[in-house]
Each structure stands twice: as C-alpha cells, then as structure tokens.
Amino acid sequence: MELIDREKNETDVNMLSPLTWAYIGDAVYELYIRTKLVNNTKLKPHKLHIESIKYVKAKAQADILKNIEKNLSEQEKDIVRRARNAENHHLPKNADPADYMYSTAFEGLIGFLYLTKQDERLKEILKMCVE
C-alpha cells in the first residue's frame, strides 16, 4: 500500500499543467530535504528551517537542475523544457526570474516523476541533488 494514493496514469499526468507538476514537486522536494536533514543532523527546528532554505530556494534548485541536466533522459529533458516554459504569472519576490524559471522546471520534473510513480528514478535524481 502506498502512503499517498497516486491514482493518475502517465497519460493523465501528461495532460496536467507543468505548473501542477511543479506544485507537487515543490512539496516532494521540500519533504525530501527536511527528512534528510532530520535524519542526518541534530539541529533544532529553527536551524532545520534555515538549513533547508539553502536547498529549496530558487537559485539552489536552478543550480541543481543545471548540474544534473546532462544525466537526464530525453523524456525528462522534455518535461524540464515544458515546465521551464510554462506561463507563470507569479513574479518571484526574492529570486532572479531566470532562476525562478529553472527552479519551476526542476520542481516540475520532481512532480512528474512522483505523480507517474517513477519512484526509483525519482530517488536517483534526488540523490544527485544533495551529493
């Protein structure tokens, strides 16, 4: 049994907006980072938050995507392109617009892999993010 039901098949997930993938990907990635920090440090909650921001801010995610892009399949690169080019009317407060687009693309990839139950590939990519 899955902890959280992911009921859509890949065709249905493909029909979702890339910004929806990014919405889910943001949560999945943040949970991954928070869990990793809790498992590997003895920090108190405020310090955990400060440390997690280093990984989840737009610039960090944009840099991660640029570093792992060469390891992505053609399908994954297409997902990244779709998410990066998605029309987003939200203007970032504390991020460079280019970094924000790349961070959205990164989150879109994470969300797509999660929603399509590509858990092994998702784990591989997440491990590349914090090495």
Instruction: List strand residue ranges (DSSP E) for 3-129, in order.
Output: none
d(CA 110, CA 26): 8
| Tokens found for residue 41 | 């440090």
Q: Given the residues 5, 12, 26, 119, select the one marked as catalytic.
A: 26
Q: What is the CA radius of gyration of the chain?
A: 15
d(CA 43, CA 67): 28
Q: Is 26 a catalytic residue?
A: yes
DSSP assignment string, 39-72: HH----HHHHHHHHHHHHSHHHHHHHHHHHGGGS
Q: Which residues are catalytic?
A: 26
